[in-house]
Amino acid sequence: MNTKEFIISSSSDELALSALLIQPDTALKGVIVILHGMAEHKERYIDFMQACAKDGYAALIYDHRGHGESVCSKDDYGYFYEEDADYIVEDVKDVIDHVRQVFPSVPVILFAHSMGTLVARLYCKKYDDTIDKLILSGPVVKNQLVTAALFLTKVLRLCFGKHHRSHFIQSLAFGGYDRKFEGTHENRWLSENMHNVMVYNAEEKDGFIFTLNGFKNLFLMVKRTFDGKGWKVKNPTLPILFLAGENDPVIGSVEQLHQAEDDMRRQGYDTIEEKVYPHMRHEILQEEKKDTVICDILDFIES
C-alpha cells in the first residue's frame, strides 16, 4: 500500500487542511473519506485505513480545522477560525471534490465518528448526492439543553473572549461521562481498552479543551443537525449505517440512537441500518474487538 501526506486548501478561508491518503496496491474499489471526532487527530485512524487498503479501498482522512496539523499554531487547538459552523462543513465538500477529481470513476463512502457525524449530517443536508454511502460511528444524538449551552457559551465569550478555554463548559458537556464507569483513568468513557485511553491522554493533539469559539461551533452543529431545516434530500436512497457501542455515553441510550435514525428517516432517507456492539464504549475502532467492527463496515460498503 502507498501512503501520501498533502494539503487541501479550504475554499472558505484558505486554511491548510492536513490530509493523509493510504491507497491499496491492488485495483481500487472505492475511496473512504473519514471525518474524525472532537479533540483528536487523523493518525489515530491509520490502523483502520490500512485495513481498508488491504481490502482494496483507498482511505483519506484530514484533520478538521482546529485539530492536528490543521491549525496556524498549537494555541489554536479547538479553535475553528469561524463563528457559524459553516466552514467545517464546506471543508468536507473541498475534500470530496478533490477525491472525485483524483478518483473520478469509483464510489465515495463517507465515514464519520462522533463530532464528525454532526459535520457529516450537515454536509448531507446539501450534498448527499456527492457520496455513495454514509457511515456514522458513535453518533451525537439530540440534546434538549443545547440551546441553553449555546447561550451560556456566548455569554462567557463576552466576558473572557473566544480563545478562552472554559473548564466549566467542558465539565457541563462531558463531566458526567466518566462517572458512568468504574476506574480512575480520565476519559475512560472512550473505550474499554485502557491502553487506548492512556495513549489518548498522553497525546498533545488529543483531549484538549475546546476554546469558547470551538464550543460555540460544536453546539451550533448539534442544534442544526436536529432542527429539521435545510434538508434537500437529493439522494433519498443513500445507504446509511449507524454504529455504536452499547455503553457509549454519547448516544445516551440505544433508544436515543434509534431516535437519531428516525430523524433521518423523517427527512426522507429510507435505507438505514444499525449495529450496536455489546460492552463497547464510544471509540469502537479502538476497542480490542475492533476487527469485528471493521469487518462489518467493509461488509456494508461492499453490499
Give the CATH number, domain containing residue 81: 3.40.50.1820
Band of residue 158 on the pLDDT scale cut at 50, 70, 90: very high
Mean pLDDT calculated for residue range 212-232:
98
Q: How far is CA 254 from CA 123, 141, 164, 251, 260, in A?
A: 24, 10, 35, 7, 10
Q: How far is CA 272 from CA 130, 194, 216, 263, in A?
A: 18, 32, 30, 11
Residue 7: per-residue pLDDT: 99
Residue 29: per-residue pLDDT: 98
pLDDT digits (tens, 9 = 90+) for 86-135: 999 999 999 999 999 999 999 999 999 999 999 999 999 999 999 999 99
As for how many domains the chain has, the answer is 1
Residue 299: per-residue pLDDT: 98
Band of residue 200 on the pLDDT scale cut at 50, 70, 90: very high
Band of residue 84 on the pLDDT scale cut at 50, 70, 90: very high
Share of the chain above pLDDT 70, in %: 100
pLDDT digits (tens, 9 = 90+) for 268-287: 999 999 999 999 999 999 99
Share of the chain above pLDDT 90, in %: 100
Mean pLDDT calculated for residue range 24-37:
98
User: Rounded to two decimals, what is the model's pTM?
Assistant: 0.97
Contact call for residues 68 and 45 (beta carbons, < 8 A) = no
pLDDT digits (tens, 9 = 90+) for 247-262: 999 999 999 999 999 9
Residue 131: per-residue pLDDT: 99
Residues 181, 192, 218, 244: is their CA dihedral positive or negative? negative
Give CA–CA dist 53/37, Å, rounded. Answer: 21
Residue 137: per-residue pLDDT: 99
pLDDT digits (tens, 9 = 90+) for 133-147: 999 999 999 999 999
Measured in degrees and rounded to the nearest 5, phi and psi for residue 274 equal -145, 145
Domain that holds residue 87: 2-302
Please name the residues in contact with 75: beta carbons below 8 A apart, sequence gap of 6 or more. 163
Please name the residues in contact with 214: beta carbons below 8 A apart, sequence gap of 6 or more. 66, 78, 79, 80
Contact call for residues 194 and 186 (beta carbons, < 8 A) = no
Residue type, 126: K
